[in-house]
Chain A
Amino acid sequence: MSVNTVKVAGRELALSNLEKDLYPSYGFTKARVLEYYGRIAPVLLPHLRDRALTLKRYPDGADAEYFFEKRCPAGRPAWLKTAEIPYGSKKKLTACLVNDLQTLLWVENLASLELHVPLARAATPGKPDSVVFDLDPGDGAGLRDCVKVALMLKGLFDGMKLFSCVKTSGKKGLHVFVPLNTAADFGKTKAFSKAVAGVLQKSYPALVTAQMAKELRKGRVFINWSQNDAAKTMVAVYSLRAGPVPTVSFPLAWKELQGLNGPAAPAELQVTPAEAVARAQGDLFRDLLVKKQELPYL
């Protein structure tokens, strides 16, 4: 196994197996994964900061076995920041906090292609900073249908004077966020998202479902409101997604969204354009972290 030692912010990191192809059907080595995360770090890190990371590791590449790891892996360097988070009803576990570039690269050296984080920070695990609507197309539905639903959500939130933003899941879905950054709890955000999903389902039964049952959601978009939960994580904005092609969960301006009409993942979700767009426009998701809003009627 080849090992390269690099120095990042005064910390020595041993990066191994850099030539390993982590997206073998496309051709994207571990070196390239590290390079991507290094380049995207300025916009990505604020979204990971102080949140308990769930690693999704693909040691043999994106088309082989993977596993989730909530626990910060053993063998971590002493300088790596961690947090004790509740696990199950009684136990606790130690999770990684990715607050700096050296931690991000250390995590990526473990081939955690995808980065998943909770909606709350580790210090306040019951207090989400945002509400999320995870739009998941059922069989026979596609990104185009998700776009329709996302625009409906935006219309609804606009009517309530709530700012919202959207990113691609990096796969077939979309994630719509309403930033809060005020004292909310998951009980409230879940009730809100469930009510919104219910109303949309009632108004557009042929397009939207709030029901998880696969058999009852053919051709429709499932608004997964249950992601608003302390025990759940969402794929972080700018995270890579595992698949045949390296795609990115990427933020979009609302007006860009209407252009997304293709049947599958559009080209702009891929790595190289993502790097360039992020460099040119900065963090389109910055408002998610700073905009202060309150949920009405709750």
Chain B
Amino acid sequence: MRTKKKEGTAEAGKAVSPEKAAATGLWSGTVSFSLVAIPVRLVKAVEPGRVSFHLLHNKDYSPVKRAMFCPGEGAAVPPEEIVRGYELEPGKHLMVTDEELESVAPERSRTIEIAEFIDLREVDPLYFDHPYYLVPLKGGEKSYRLLAEALRRTNKAGLAKFVLGEREYLVTVRSKDGALALSTLHYSAELLADAQYAPGKAADEKEKNAVKKCVKEMLGGFTPGKYSDVRRKKLLALLKKKAGGAQVQAPELEGEPAEGVADLVAALEESMSRMKGAR
């Protein structure tokens, strides 16, 4: 069984983000609208298809891992000895605890309270930040279903704010294939002005109509499955090929597994084929 967080990782206890919370299923709370409150958990809606590599030390092939390092002590620091600090002036920090952070907005840290509904088509795609799903917890299945279905019928999305870790997020909650999908939005103050890039001259009518004609000819439906990441495909093919080739081994502190298991493997393979034959 894999654990959510490996022993000794430095970020433990700090810098909670929705992405991390969703990946680990760590955030659960309530989504509410008017007098209806639904217990839910935040889970991820997307998973980057990136191929993950490990960094190794070229001397001994031990893994090299990111850790919080104390220059004063010259050693990596365990998570329980890490605290958040706000820099008041260079070198002078104010220590801030998780409880103090949660006290900034206790009404929003466990509750996504939908006060308004909007038409999602009015939201400029620029605003979308990161997508998630909400899944119902025990006892919330029916009201979850109701919100999802009512949103689908009305073609609306809920708008709410909630707080996770050090930040407050503006989010929409909408219906997607029977589930509630949540997207964090950028605040409008975070969006830069695009007017500075607008060309000085207005569009030439004739030219515009020529473009329109061309666009019309190329109109189709959005079928994302048609496009795939060329790089990832190539990488996976490469890895499959390399997996059969030369490997390196990282050292271990404990004893190595004994060699000479040929008899065992032969015996296992024989029982295996007997099992298969018996079916």
Chain A residues packing against B (C-beta within 8 Å) = 24-26, 63-68, 88-89, 126, 134, 136, 139, 152, 155-156, 159-160, 169, 171, 173, 175, 185-188, 190-192, 194-196, 198-200, 202-203, 211, 214-216, 224, 229-231, 235, 243-245, 296-298
Q: B2 at the A/B interface (Cβ < 8 Å)?
A: yes
Residue in A25, A200, A235 whose beta carbon sits within 8 Å of that of B1 in the complex: A235
Closest to A243 in B: B25
**Total A-B Cβ pairs within 8 A:** 114
Q: Is the CB of B276 within 8 A of A186?
A: no
Q: How far is the CA of A88 from the CA of B254 in the complex (A)?
A: 9
Interface-centre pick from A186, A191, A229 (highest chain B CB count, 10 A): A191
Please determine whether A215 and B264 come into contact, CB atoms closer than 8 angstroms: no
Q: Are A136 and B137 in contact (CB under 8 A)?
A: no
Query: Per a CB cutoff under 8 Å, which of B1, B25, B47, B268 touches A134?
Result: B1
Interface size class for chain B?
35 or more
Chain B residues with Cβ under 8 A from A185's Cβ? 255
A268 to B67, CA, bound (A): 40
Q: Which of A155, A173, A175, A202 contacts B275 (CB 8 A)?
A: A155
Please indicate the chain A residues that have their CB under 8 angstroms from the CB of B236 in the complex.
215
Q: Is B188 an interface residue (CB 8 A)?
A: no
**Which A residues lie within 8 Å of B12 (CB)?**
65, 67
A25 partner, pick from B5, B28, B79, B265, beta carbons under 8 A: B28
Is there contact, CB below 8 Å, between B261 and A195?
yes
Q: A63: which B residues are within 8 A, CB to CB?
A: 25-28, 41
Q: Report B174 CB to chain A, min CB distance, Å.
A: 22
Q: How far is the CB of B262 from chain A (nearest CB, A)?
A: 9
Residues in B lying within 8 Å of A, measured CB to CB:
1-2, 4-5, 7, 12-13, 25-29, 39, 41, 47, 51-52, 79-80, 98, 110, 137-138, 236, 239-240, 243, 253-259, 261, 263-265, 267-269, 271-272, 274-276
A191 CA to B28 CA, complexed, in Å: 41
CB < 8 Å: which of B2, B253, B276 contacts A89? B253
Measured CB to CB, the closest approach of chain B to A108, in angstroms, equals 20
Q: Pick the contact of A229 from B28, B254, B268 — CB < 8 Å? A: B254
Shortest C-beta distance, A259 to chain B (Å), equals 20
A296-B267 contact, Cβ under 8 Å, with A67-B80, A188-B258, A194-B257 = yes
With known contacts A88-B253, A187-B256, A195–B265 Cβ distance under 8 A: yes
Most chain B Cβ neighbours within 10 Å, of A63, A152, A230 = A63
Note all chain B residues with C-beta closer than 8 A to A136. 1-2
Interchain residue pairs with CB less than 8 A apart (21): A67-B13, A67-B79, A136-B1, A136-B2, A156-B275, A159-B274, A160-B271, A187-B255, A187-B258, A188-B258, A191-B259, A199-B265, A202-B269, A215-B51, A215-B239, A216-B239, A230-B254, A244-B28, A244-B41, A245-B137, A297-B263
